Amino acid sequence: MPHDAPSAPMSAPPSHGPDLNPNDLLRTTVDPAPPAGVTIRQVRAICTAPAGINLVVVRVDTSEPGLYGLGCATFAYRAHAVKDVAERYLDPLLRGRDVHRIEDLFRIMMANAYWRNGPIQNNAISGVDMALWDIKGKMAGMPVYQLLGGKCREAAAVYRHADGGSPGEVLDNVLGYMAQGIRHVRCQMGGYGGKSARDLAPAGAQPGIYFDPQGYARDVVALFDHVREKAGDGVELLHDIHERLAPMEAVRLAKALEPHRLFFLEDPLPPEQPEWFRILRNQAAVPLAMGELFNNPVEWRALVAERLIDYIRVHISQVGGITPARKLAAFCEQFEVRTAWHGPGDVSPVGHAANLHLDLAAPNFGIQEWAGFNEQTREVFPGCPELRGGYAYVREAPGLGVDLDEAKAALYPPDEGVTAWTQTRLPDGSPAWP
């Protein structure tokens, strides 16, 4: 629409939502009252893959020379779509606005597209939201955790991932982590869902990543029998079902793992089956963690309020950043539910730092997933959080403490290929949740 097109009156909201003629509703600009202080000058996104995993980081530049913030917007499998939302839509929306109004800007960004809480939009919003917290910390001369109320602890206890092709290989990795001072280890065998089941498929079955749910469930019990017997009780063990079992099979597996006193069992059910949590809770005394696939913080509300889970598994950029995550943590505190923010390789160091600042300030912190950084990632992101023993530490610097070297980031362009591991199939060739 031309910039000089007549605009609809802003005082009367539409009575029929988006079904009205868009020409009666759209305005290309809304001129807010001039802010008194520092304003947003530009929003842009940087895509990079120094560890072979696509990362997206949003940079918000301000009217103050040299003052900028960084935020994680990583949706590894739709990286360029997130970049497009940040630069094509959020940048013009936010230019000239007051950097201090984080809550106000979060709500403006969330509402501006009318439809909300999708993963692409939420990640783009997260990039801006985290960057604004980073800026506020820099302006205050404080780490972000100070803005959240200060430390409840000096560092965040972490868990690492131990995988292998056999119980013996997994055990070796568990013992290796224990020797490094790690006291929490997630055990998987053959990745998520166990070994390939391609040889069980019928003739003409479609290509994909095959797995056998029944064989996986049997193998997991044998795995934990072996690891707990050999590693002893001096290590906390975790496991991720990754929503790959039918609900009743997940209940059966949880009951079978009760004797091993898991720290938690992760994503036992898909987001589409929340009612099954009541059955699972009544059948198995196993701590439950849920939610890395959720997009909206409200998706945890019933599970938390009814005390059906023990830990929230939140990919912070997926829900929109620090602003919604800190509210969710405070809500969970009322029900003795703890945080376990998602921390895999497809979270940038900026996102890991955001996780840790929340960990330090939250009374109900539980555990932090830790993927670690390779040397290339550390070069691209100066100021990465550090792992020492079983704890992760943020850099004691204003803001989130992580920077981005864009010249080095450009040396590691993102992967443009089609994602393979999510093309999962059951033994008969049927498509399945990854």
Contact (CB, 8 A) for 91 and 43 = yes
**332 shares a domain with 302:** yes
**211 shares a domain with 338:** yes
pLDDT at 70: 98
**216 shares a domain with 83:** no
pLDDT at 197: 81
Is 121 within a domain?
A: yes
Is 125 within a domain?
A: yes
Is 72 within a domain?
A: yes
The catalytically annotated residue of 184, 239, 242, 260 is: 242
pLDDT at 234: 94
- Proportion of the chain above pLDDT 70, given as a percent: 92
**136 shares a domain with 166:** no
Is 382 within a domain?
A: yes
Contact (CB, 8 A) for 223 and 167 = yes
Last residue of a domain, one of 102, 122, 143: 143
Is 8 within a domain?
A: no
Say how many domains are in the chain.
Answer: 2
**159 shares a domain with 68:** no
pLDDT at 19: 55
Contact (CB, 8 A) for 314 and 337 = no
The catalytically annotated residue of 145, 177, 192, 391 is: 192
161 is a catalytic site residue: no
Q: Per-residue confidence at 191, pLDDT binned at 50, 70, 90?
A: confident
pLDDT at 4: 43
pLDDT at 220: 97
Q: Per-residue confidence at 192, pLDDT binned at 50, 70, 90?
A: confident
Among the listed residues 198, 178, 55, the one whose alpha carbon sits nearest the alpha carbon of residue 127: 55
The 10s digit of each residue's pLDDT in 354-384 is 999 999 999 999 999 999 999 999 999 999 9
242 is a catalytic site residue: yes
**159 shares a domain with 136:** no
**157 shares a domain with 51:** no
- Host domain of residue 67: 17-143
The 10s digit of each residue's pLDDT in 267-320 is 999 999 999 999 999 999 999 999 999 999 999 999 999 999 999 999 999 999
Residue 56 sits in a domain whose CATH number is: 3.30.390.10
Last residue of a domain, one of 105, 126, 143: 143
* H helix or E strand, kind and range, residue 81: helix 79-84
**208 shares a domain with 111:** no
Among the listed residues 414, 389, 384, 420, the one whose alpha carbon sits nearest the alpha carbon of residue 75: 414
**339 shares a domain with 195:** yes
Residues 211-239, mean pLDDT to the nearest whole number: 96
Is 99 within a domain?
A: yes
